[in-house]
């Protein structure tokens, strides 16, 4: 998606914060060097092609932007947040990107528009197999801790 919208001037960054489900392969971070290695492994294993920013060891940026494990934010060119989701879902994000690109076009066409705040509930697909594959990449500890906590 980042590549598809790059021509429209939409930038995309990935903020690597922490291991949501640490395990033997990707344990809880104890140093920035380790955290950088984990971010590099994320890039390589999942094929992340957009720039990855790495949060501080204490997670200051993660806390400042809500502390949820898989958030997405969209900012306009002035740095104003125009979309915030407590979970990253490509369909929801793409819908928002398309909407805001349409708003830009309408404004370029001199349509008078005023912003307003909206809240809506979106739905995402829960792919259990993909989720457990991610836990397994972290290691058996991540799998067993998740199963013990959530059944």
For residues 45 and 108, give the distance between their C-alpha atoms in angstroms, rounded to a whole number. 41
Tokens for 71, please give them: 């958030």
CATH number for the domain spanning 146: value is 3.40.30
pTM of the model: 0.87
pLDDT of 151 strictly over 90: no
User: What's the pLDDT tens digit per position in 6-26?
Assistant: 999 999 999 999 998 999 999
Residue 64 CB coordination number (10 Å): 9
Report the number of distinct structural domains present in the chain.
1
Residue 111 CB coordination number (10 Å): 9
Q: Which domain holds residue 39?
A: 2-150
Mean pLDDT of 17-42: 96
């Amino acid at each position: 998606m980042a590549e598809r919208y790059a021509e429209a001037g939409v930038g995309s960054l990935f903020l690597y914060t922490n291991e949501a489900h640490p395990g033997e392969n990707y344990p809880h971070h104890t140093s920035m060097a380790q955290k950088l290695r984990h971010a590099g492994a994320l890039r390589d294993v999942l094929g992340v092609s957009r720039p990855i920013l790495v949060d501080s060891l204490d997670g200051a940026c993660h806390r400042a932007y809500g502390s949820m494990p898989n958030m997405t934010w969209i900012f306009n060119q002035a740095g104003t947040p125009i979309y915030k989701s407590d979970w990253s879902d490509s369909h929801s994000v793409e819908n928002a990107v398309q909407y805001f690109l349409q708003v830009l076009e309408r404004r370029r066409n001199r349509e008078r528009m005023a912003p307003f705040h909206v809240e809506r509930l979106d739905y995402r697909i829960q792919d259990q197999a993909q989720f457990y594959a991610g836990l397994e990449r972290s290691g058996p500890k991540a799998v067993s801790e998740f199963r013990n906590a959530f059944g």
